[in-house]
Amino acid sequence: MSIQEQYRKKAAELLSSGEVKLVIGYGSGSTPDRRRALFARTADDAALFHVDAACDANLSGYLVNEGLLSDKKKIGIFLKPEGIRSVNILAAESQLDPDQIVILGFTEENGTVSGLQGTQASDFTSLMTALKENRTTSEKEQALVDKIEAMTPQERFAFWQAEFEKCIKCYACRQVCPMCYCKRCIVDNNQPQWVHTSSHTLGNFEWNLVRAFHLSGRCVECGGCDRACPVNIPLRLINRRMANEVLDAFDHFSGMNQNQEPVLASFKKDDPETFIL
Amino acid sequence: MTKILLRDKLDDCLTRWHAAGFDVVGPVRKNNISQYATVKKAGELDLGIILPDRTLKDLFFPQTEPMFSYRISKQKIDTEEYLPPGRQRIIFGARACDASAMAIDDPLFGWDYQDTYWFKRRNETVIVTIACTAADEFCMCTSLKLAPDSTQGSDILLRPLGDNRGWQVEELTDRGREAFSRIEALLEESPAQTAALADVPIKFDLDLCREWLQNPENFESHFWKEISMRCIGCGTCTFLCPTCHCFDFQDEGDTYTGIRRKNWDSCSFALFTMHTSGRNPRSTQSARWRQRIMHKFNYFPGKFNLNSCSGCGRCTRECPVDMGIIETLQEITKLSQ
Ligand code: SF4
Ligand code: SF4
Ligand code: SF4
Ligand code: SF4
């Protein structure tokens, strides 16, 4: 049985047995190569799920939709490893109770998907360790990273200025991100107005810097923001750089487990103090 | 015999238009995004695309626009008004859906108040539209009763020739005729045949949709919740929509000195309708999605006898969660059959 068949069956069982009230997965999209979130409430709906290489979205953000988990009932959800990491972070930050989440985990490599053993976020600890040890970047991506790293600060500033000038402040990068669950984002606060709401170069810089910092050590590199950005700003490069920083400085790999402390909100005696004069 | 403009004369056209004081703007791909931008040479124009990622409204209603600066002292209040720079422009290679969108927004910006910024730019701009010979699966001008060669909003319509060597010229307005009189000597008389227009299938029944939307019983329909469940409430579909026109005022600075700006806003944002009290009359994403559809296909036509949509398809093409209006209107069509 293909992984898709197995998971359709599993989702149908979860729903018909009443173990979960809802399964969030992937259904067909508006074109043959698109997949979109599908919310299944019955075993019949579960027959519409897809599990294949086109299922790229990290669906975990839907879990924290207002009121969805407040009845204490369980929800099933299709997640890739990055999605499982997001669930760990949401649990660590008290946004959800991981016992309410039944995971249908899968992973994709070179266009082939395979299922992951386990149903609870805590079942995937060894996977997380392996992911931390084997962080990979495609050759093409690495070439771009190297190019940017080799730039002088002035050149790098010019590069990002040209990118951020394109930003239209649609906040798709924020809305799509499972880690951006704040009821009121700092950029939406106007008493005081911390960040310019205007989408001019300064305002765009401010927004993108706020996003980068607030996601340092929390971003799981699911790529959602990068795919969502309608003006194609390479947000993944920022995410990767920040992830590297926290890994190098604090040995912090976001979403390892549900007890992980947020790296920028916790203090350890042996934290490096390279930037404190 | 009709007038044609040959592709290889385009550089000479640009030279003449520049000499006559026009800026020339057209679809350009730069920095991994395609948008209407100012060009110096014809070679910079990217005329082979279906349509640019960004819309024509950027050129008339930019995402952020300074309106005036203020300085408040004990004795007086000084203000300085900013107006758009007075440059004559020719937009070469607009798409029919984008040009139509400008005509759709004209009555809106001129309804109870003449929007100086919009109309100043509208009056300074000549829109030269090229009819489409190719479309993608999201294009839906025909569903909006428009077409790949609609003339609304355009000053000149160019129809591509079958041999791709240039375009047949159709002059639509005095402004268009005036701009093309500058390149009269470069045009030719020719019996050349025009290429077939893009085949854009009709995707939903607009009249049935309007009827359904007008029925007050459907306002609270469960349909809105179901259809918008995956919407994440971003600004993509409104900001990349050529007809969406909502804005917000922001004072940048402090109590004594600063700039008032007019910024795009979006009915998809929760903050859009948030009261200072903290109450939000459109508190759910489904209510916000309903508003977007109602506004475009019920309220706007009720007021201006026009749909606030020209069928460019960007809302569906670019939505990060694969929503957009096509599916919604298709489902409404089914519901009302
Ligand atoms: S910042 Fe982007 S890549 Fe990181 S978790 Fe959020 S959506 Fe995913
Ligand atoms: S998704 Fe892109 S354009 Fe939209 S706010 Fe984020 S960076 Fe800016
Ligand atoms: S429909 Fe799509 S583009 Fe529009 S607000 Fe919702 S998620 Fe964003
Ligand atoms: S609603 Fe969608 S299809 Fe219609 S004009 Fe706006 S972006 Fe284009």
Answer whether residue B201 is part of any domain. Answer: no
Tell if the CB–CB gap between A30 and B318 is shorter than 8 Å. Answer: no
Lowest mean pLDDT among A8-12, A24-28, A50-54, B272-276: B272-276
- Alpha-carbon dihedral sign for residues A33, B225, B281, A178: negative
How far apart are alpha carbons B92 and B174 in whole angstroms?
17
Reported ipTM: the value is: 0.95
Which pLDDT band holds residue A276 (cuts at 50, 70, 90)?
Answer: low
Q: Is the pLDDT of residue A223 over 60?
A: yes
Taking the CA of residue B278 and the nearest CA in chain A, the distance in Å comes to: 11
Pairing verdict, β B22-30 and B33-38: antiparallel
Q: Given B165, B190, B215, which residue is the final one in a domain?
A: B190
Q: How much is the pLDDT for A126?
A: 94
Nearest CA to ligand 4 atom 2: B315
B216 shares its domain with B316? yes
Q: How much is the pLDDT for B34?
A: 97
- What total number of domains does chain B contain? 2
Nearest C-alpha neighbor of B312 from the set B48, B56, B128:
B56
Q: Dihedral (C-alpha) B186, B191, B195, B200: value to the nearest 10 degrees?
A: 100
Tell if the CB–CB gap between A172 and B235 is shorter than 8 Å. Answer: yes
pLDDT along chain B (337 residues), means of 10: 93 98 97 97 97 98 96 94 92 98 98 95 98 98 98 98 96 98 96 95 97 97 96 98 96 92 97 92 96 98 97 98 96 94
Residue type, A61: G
pLDDT, tens digit, 9 for 90 and up, residues A107-166: 999 999 999 999 999 999 999 999 999 988 888 888 998 999 999 999 999 999 999 999
Output the six-digit token pair for B330.
């298709």
Answer whether residue B196 is part of any domain. Answer: no
B109 shares its domain with B177? yes
Q: Is B266's Cβ below 8 Å from some Cβ in A?
A: yes
Distance, CA A160 to ligand 2 centroid (Å)?
Answer: 13
Which pLDDT band holds residue A275 (cuts at 50, 70, 90)?
Answer: low
For an interface test with B, give the residue of A55, A164, A171, A237 to mutate (most B CBs within 10 A).
A171
Answer whether residue B199 is part of any domain. Answer: no
Give one DSSP letter per residue of A33-67, joined into a string: T-EEEEEE-SHHHHTT---STT----GGGGGGSTT
How far apart are alpha carbons B75 and B242 in whole angstroms?
44
Q: Is B236's Cβ below 8 Å from some Cβ in A?
A: yes
Give one DSSP letter per residue of B189-205, joined into a string: EE-PPBPPPP-----S-
Tell if the CB–CB gap between A170 and B235 is shorter than 8 Å. Answer: yes
Q: How much is the pLDDT for A268?
A: 83
Could you tell me which residue, A270 or B186, shows the higher pLDDT?
Answer: B186
A38 in Cβ contact with A7 (< 8 Å): no
CB of residue B84 inside a 6 A radius of ligand 3: no
Q: Given B190, B218, B244, which residue is the final one in a domain?
A: B190
Q: How much is the pLDDT for B93?
A: 98
Q: B145 — alpha (psi -120 to 50), left (phi > 0) or beta?
A: left
Interfacial A residues in 134-173 facing B (CB < 8 Å): 162-163, 166, 168-172
Tell if the CB–CB gap between A172 and B327 is shorter than 8 Å. Answer: no
CB of residue A209 inside a 6 A radius of ligand 2: no
Q: How much is the pLDDT for A16?
A: 98
Output the six-digit token pair for B174.
């005095």
Q: Given B190, B217, B244, which residue is the final one in a domain?
A: B190
Closest-CA residue of chain B to A169:
B235
What percentage of chain A reaches a pLDDT higher than 70? 99
Taking the CA of residue A125 and the nearest CA in chain B, the distance in Å comes to: 29
CB of residue B172 inside a 6 A radius of ligand 3: no
B250 shares its domain with B146? no
Helix boundaries (H) for chain B: 10-19, 96-109, 116-123, 174-181, 206-214, 223-227, 236-239, 285-294, 300-304, 314-318, 325-335
A25 in Cβ contact with A49 (< 8 Å): yes
B73 shares its domain with B162? yes
pLDDT, tens digit, 9 for 90 and up, residues A154-212: 999 999 999 999 999 999 999 999 999 998 899 998 888 889 999 999 999 999 999 99
B135 shares its domain with B171? yes
Distance, CA A211 to ligand 2 centroid (Å)?
Answer: 10
B171 shares its domain with B231? no
What residues contact B162, with CB distance under 8 A and at least 6 apart? B192, B193, B194, B195
Tallying the residues shown for chain B, one arrives at 337
Distance, CA A73 to ligand 2 centroid (Å)?
Answer: 34
B168 shares its domain with B245? no
B133 shares its domain with B212? no
Nearest CA to ligand 4 atom 8: B312
Q: Is the pLDDT of residue A277 over 60?
A: no
Nearest C-alpha neighbor of B195 from the set B150, B156, B149, B152:
B149
Distance, CA B268 to ligand 3 centroid (Å)?
Answer: 7
Taking the CA of residue A203 and the nearest CA in chain B, the distance in Å comes to: 10
Distance, CA A167 to ligand 2 centroid (Å)?
Answer: 5
Task: Name the pTM for this structure.
Answer: 0.95
B150 shares its domain with B293? no
Answer whether residue B180 is part of any domain. Answer: yes
Q: How much is the pLDDT for A138?
A: 84
B165 shares its domain with B88? yes
Tell if the CB–CB gap between B235 and A227 is shorter than 8 Å. Answer: no
CB of residue B232 inside a 6 A radius of ligand 3: yes
Distance, CA B323 to ligand 4 centroid (Å)?
Answer: 12
Residue type, B20: A
* Domain that residue B252 falls in: 206-336
Domain ranges of chain A: 3-133, 139-265
For an interface test with A, give the residue of B227, B230, B289 to mutate (most A CBs within 10 A).
B230
Nearest C-alpha neighbor of A116 from the set A75, A74, A80, A83:
A80
Closest-CA residue of chain A to B235:
A170
Q: How high is the mean pLDDT of chain A?
A: 94
Interfacial B residues in 1-60 facing A (CB < 8 Å): 31-33, 53-54
CB of residue B99 inside a 6 A radius of ligand 3: no
